[in-house]
Amino acid sequence: MLWLIFALLAASMTALSQILDKISVSKWFKTPWVFFSWWGIYSLFGAFVFLPFIPQLNFNIYAAFVGLLQVCSGYIYLRAIQLEDISRISPIAYTSPLIVLLLSTAFLGEVLTISNYAGILILVAGAMLMATHSLSKLRLSKGSQLMFLVAALLGIQGIFWKQAALTGSVPEVLFWFFLTYGVGNLLVTRQNAIAFVNRFGKLPSTAKILLLAYVPVSISAFVFNTQAISMQYISLISAVGASVPLFVFIFVALATLIVPKLLKEKLTPRIIITKLIGAALIVIGVYLVS
């Protein structure tokens, strides 16, 4: 059951980092591409954080592939949300656990129980409900096609992540992941990285604090996730990762109560009911996969 604790901690930290993403982009950056370069900058820092914990550094090709796939999926994700309203297409990304399930069965030989399979399907359905105001808004557009590609890349990434965890220690996997992701990200966003550095010095202190807080939050999400992957089937870890929208909902609700002006969420009675149904499905799904 320890794997479930790590997987839920990873989901909660991922949710918190997504909220910090939204605040930063909406308040202080004109384009998400400039903020995307920040991921590359802090990833290089993150890589060398793990060096002291690696007695003998060996190249982990699987972790390197995970980093490169993360660059590709992040780039395509941003392209997709430029073409289409994020609320219409973001739920598609939560189909990735289904792709992980298929690939892990085919290539890793993972076999689950009937309740596990049911739990994965329920988790995906709950995540999709919570990630959108209405599933009827989904359209087969260029943006949605790109988001399906993101889901596929995340599914492939999960398989490589499991192989990385099987062939190396957690610190070693994280070192190669952050190093390849950081280098790949900055190669793609080099002009935006320069713009970010120039912009950072002009930001208010609140923005700088949030950006710096983002680093340990995001890194801890990957640490918890990698630890969970090293302990359990990737298909189950990926499924629990679909609980991110539930944690986003909880954190946003708490933030709205504490700092009302920080986040503005459109919550009609219909949206609230939809999200509560999605939350209930996620809780049921987590119970079934555990």
d(CA 184, CA 40): 8
290 residues of the chain, pLDDT tens digit each: 899 999 999 999 999 988 888 888 777 877 788 888 989 999 999 999 999 999 999 999 999 999 999 999 998 988 887 777 666 677 888 899 999 999 999 999 999 999 999 999 999 999 988 877 555 555 567 778 888 999 999 999 999 999 999 999 999 999 999 999 999 999 998 888 888 888 888 889 888 888 898 899 999 999 999 999 999 999 999 999 999 999 988 888 887 777 766 666 666 777 778 888 999 999 999 999 99
- Check residue 168 and give its pLDDT: 95
Question: Which residues are within 8 A (CB) of 203 and not within 5 positions of it... i.e. 6 or more apart?
Answer: 28, 211
As a whole number of angstroms, the distance between CA 233 and CA 111 comes to 9
Instruction: Tell me the residue length of the chain.
Output: 290
* Position 245, amino acid: P
**How far, in Å, CA of 180 to CA of 146, rounded?**
23
Nearest CA among 273, 256, 274 for reference residue 265: 256
d(CA 46, CA 206): 22
Identity at 67, one-letter amino acid code? G
How distant, in Å, are the alpha carbons of 22, 178, 218 from that of 64? 28, 8, 18
Domain layout of the chain by residue ranges: 2-289
Tokens of 200: 């950072």
**Helix axes of 32-49 and 61-83: crossing angle, nearest 10 degrees:** 160
Q: Which two tokens stand for residue 204?
A: 């208010």
